[in-house]
Amino acid sequence: MRLRLDLAYDGTAFHGWAAQPGLRTVQGELTAALATVLRRDDVEVVCAGRTDAGVHARGQVVHLDVPDPVEVDRLPRRLNGVLDPDVRVRRVAPAPASFDARFGALWRRYAYRVADDPATLDPLVRSHVLAWPRPLDLAAMNEASALLVGRHDFAAFCKRREGATTIRTLLELAWARDTAGHAVATVRADAFCHSMVRSLVGCLLAVGEGRRPPAWAGEVLAAQVRDAAVAVVHAHGLTLEAVAYPPDAELAARAEQTRARRE
């Protein structure tokens, strides 16, 4: 029986998603809770996006297989009774055998939040919003963002892994003010490579405060090498907001397409 779990977590006290010996991670906490509730020692989970240390999530998606039927309706409450309050299971549902939280996703959407005006600084959200000392020009940042949208080699914004491609399709990258006055980047792509969102934001902050012209973002992208002038911003401003999947009948085809190496 395959299950889909929808999770939210505050990443502040975690060393990222992936289990690591001796460190507190989201995967480690979740699998320990599942082992307790399901009374099994061999629980394995697959997530939609492996968030880095300090990154938060409202819309993380996980799948796992269980050999015996479980009372799905009771599982969220039972898991939340075991988990610490900074991780919550929001929903559990049966999933088709072809559902793959990682490879079946159509896109992941992140938000990065920045407070660039002293009047918007709020100590109550300091672990989720980056405090920036200079005002940002969102029009210039959106002009630069438009140069990055599309299918590109994002090597300039990614930490390379041997044998892995850095080609991604960036579906959306736009800045707007929220009701609190924070500058919020909405970043949506078919997938992300390591540190990609935080590097994109670092590039655009340089544009927004006037240190670089909007065209610079396109130049960095075209160079396809890491630029020392592009800062990788702090993790705590970043939140995984949502992951989208195709209809059940298209899940297997989507997973096969995603596994194919991007060219």
Backbone φ, ψ for residue 191 (5° rounding): -165, 165
Rounded CA separation 178/127 (Å): 17
Q: How do residues 6-61 score in pLDDT, each as one tens digit?
A: 999 999 999 999 999 999 999 999 999 999 999 988 899 999 999 999 999 999 99
Strands 56-65 and 87-95: unpaired
User: Which of 66-70, 110-114, 162-166, 228-232 has maximum average pLDDT?
Assistant: 110-114
Which residues does 153 contact at the CB level (< 8 Å), separation at least 6? 166, 167, 224
DSSP for the chain, please give it: -EEEEEEEE-GGG-S-SS--TTS--HHHHHHHHHHHHHT-S----EES--PPTT-EEEEEEEEEE-SS---GGGHHHHHHHHS-TTEEEEEEEEE-TT--TTTT-SEEEEEEEEE-SGGG--GGGTTTSEE-SS---HHHHHHHHHTT-EEEE-GGGS---TT---EEEEEEEEEEE-TTS-EEEEEEES---TTHHHHHHHHHHHHHTTSS-THHHHHHHHH-S--TTS----GGGEEEEEEE---GGGHHHHHHHHHSPP-
Mean pLDDT to the nearest integer, 121-147: 97
Q: Do 17 and 26 form a contact (C-beta atoms < 8 A)?
A: yes
Q: 100: alpha, beta or left, given left = phi > 0 and alpha = psi -120 to 50?
A: beta
pLDDT of residue 261: 65
pLDDT of residue 260: 77
Catalytic sites, residue numbers? 52
Q: The whole model's pTM is what?
A: 0.95
Of residues 121, 168, 173, 115, the one with CA closest to residue 144: 173
pLDDT above 90 coverage of the chain, percent: 88
Q: How do residues 91-122 score in pLDDT, each as one tens digit?
A: 999 999 999 999 999 999 999 999 999 999 99
pLDDT of residue 164: 79
pLDDT of residue 229: 87
Q: How do residues 178-231 score in pLDDT, each as one tens digit?
A: 999 999 999 999 999 989 999 999 999 999 999 999 999 999 999 988 888 899
Mean pLDDT to the nearest integer, 149-156: 95
Of residues 132, 134, 161, 126, the one with CA closest to residue 54: 126
